[in-house]
């Protein structure tokens, strides 16, 4: 039997294994300097003991997630291990997705309560039609306007609204890869959209490492593809996060997130919304906005 490992050891492994790093490496780029900030991480090779439809957290929060509707069948062999398969299935509410949800807040995700910065990253591969047919309308040709990748729910979310999110969404009539975030629960969100066409960022059947960083205090979001910055633009003019003026610093609402959503919305499984015909692996959620150097190191 594999020996039990501490949360710190799991976090170290999730960051890429060994904590032994060349002395010349700048401290900000060392995996051990990020270990404390790695709140949740999922590689889909670590089922919850006794529950193959659950996935263990390799970050420090210990937040297990559910593999919704597909259970263990959602772990598919791809590369050196397993990846998560998500996507729409026949029927109105049986899309394969993952995550966790609590209407009173997920206390293990408290690091994202009144948080100043966030990073979401992972490996993604599109495997089918995106966006998917919209099962919430009577028109057979209607498509969803977004493709959900991975996000942290807000503190008042019904399973869809987010504090921080990486997704593909319609921006002024064109689908784009975006970072989207809401600083204040129930208030306006801001979107940073990649200028590059979304199917160039996420070409079919190709693994791509995507990262979104969120700095709520300075109202800055960034996107990275395979560790390199993506050019982009914000979509909402003015100050939608209400960061101008005191008090400082500007942080998110002091509520525990209601969960994590992966591959679509409503992880509590009471509705289908924005399913992703995708495979995903190496998902990581940090309570700090990683630098470009750190993103590149982890993408490699």
Instruction: Supply the DSSP symbol for 247.
Output: S
Better pLDDT: 1 or 131: 131
* pLDDT value of position 13: 62
Contact 39, 285 (CB under 8 A): yes
Tell me how far apart the alpha carbons of residues 167 and 177 are, in angstroms, rounded to a whole number.
6
- The pLDDT assigned to 25 comes to 41
Is the pLDDT confidence value at 275 over 70? yes
Q: Give bridge partners of residue 51 from the DSSP assignment.
A: 48
Model confidence over 15-60: pLDDT tens digits?
A: 764 323 333 344 444 556 799 999 999 999 999 999 999 999 999 9
Q: Does residue 64 have a cis peptide bond before it, meaning omega lies within 30 degrees of 0?
A: no
Q: How far apart, in whole angstroms, are the C-alpha atoms of residue 138 and residue 92?
A: 11
Give the pLDDT of residue 20.
31
User: What is the separation of C-alpha 266 from the centre of its chain, rounded to a whole number of angstroms?
Assistant: 14
Residue 132 reports pLDDT greater than 50: yes
Mapping DSSP to helix (H, G, I), strand (E, B) and coil, where does residue 167 land? strand
Cis, peptide link before residue 299, omega less than 30° from 0: no
Predicted confidence at residue 140, as pLDDT, reads: 87
With a cut of 70, say whether residue 273 has pLDDT above it.
yes
- The residue that leads in pLDDT, 27 or 3, is 27
pLDDT for res 11: 58
What lies within 8 Å, CB to CB, of 168 at 6+ separation is 130, 131, 146, 147, 149, 175, 176, 177, 178, 198, 202
> Region 80-89: what's the mean pLDDT?
95
pLDDT at 219 over 80: yes
Cα–Cα distance, 113 to 94 (Å, whole number): 31
Q: How far apart are CA 15 and CA 29, in angstroms?
A: 11
Overall average pLDDT of the 243-270 stretch:
97
Percent above pLDDT 90 for the chain = 86
Q: For residue 2, how many other CB atoms are within 10 A of its CB?
A: 5
Mean pLDDT of 161-177: 97
How high is the pLDDT of residue 12?
58
pLDDT at 120 over 70: yes
Cis peptide bond prior to 131, omega within 30° of 0: yes
pLDDT at 93: 81
């Amino acid at each position: 039997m594999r020996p039990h490992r501490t949360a710190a050891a799991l976090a170290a492994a999730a960051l890429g294994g060994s904590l032994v790093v060349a002395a010349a490496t700048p401290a900000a780029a060392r995996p051990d300097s990020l270990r404390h900030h790695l709140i949740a991480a999922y590689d889909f090779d670590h089922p919850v003991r006794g529950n193959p439809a659950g996935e263990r957290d390799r970050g420090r929060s210990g937040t297990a997630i559910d593999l919704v509707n597909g259970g263990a069948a959602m772990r598919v062999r791809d590369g050196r291990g397993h990846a998560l398969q998500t996507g729409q299935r026949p029927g109105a509410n049986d899309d394969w997705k993952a995550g966790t949800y609590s209407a009173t807040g997920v206390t293990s995700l408290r690091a994202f309560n009144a948080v100043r910065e966030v990073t979401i990253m992972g490996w993604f591969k599109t495997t089918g039609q995106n966006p998917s047919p919209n099962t919430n309308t009577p028109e057979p040709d209607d498509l969803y306007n977004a493709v959900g990748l991975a996000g942290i729910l807000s503190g008042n979310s019904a399973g869809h609204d987010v504090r921080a999110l990486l997704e593909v969404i319609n921006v002024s009539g064109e689908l784009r890869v975006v970072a989207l975030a809401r600083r204040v629960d129930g208030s306006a969100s801001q979107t940073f959209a990649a200028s590059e066409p979304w199917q160039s960022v996420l070409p079919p059947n190709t693994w791509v490492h995507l990262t979104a960083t969120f700095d709520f205090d300075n109202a800055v979001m960034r996107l990275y593809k395979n560790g390199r910055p993506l050019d982009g633009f914000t979509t909402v003019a003015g100050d939608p996060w209400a960061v101008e003026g005191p008090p400082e610093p500007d942080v998110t609402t002091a509520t525990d997130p209601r969960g994590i959503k992966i591959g679509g919305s409503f992880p509590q499984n009471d509705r289908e919304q924005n399913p992703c015909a995708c495979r995903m692996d190496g998902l990581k959620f940090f309570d700090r906005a990683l630098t470009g150097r750190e993103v590149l190191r982890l993408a490699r």
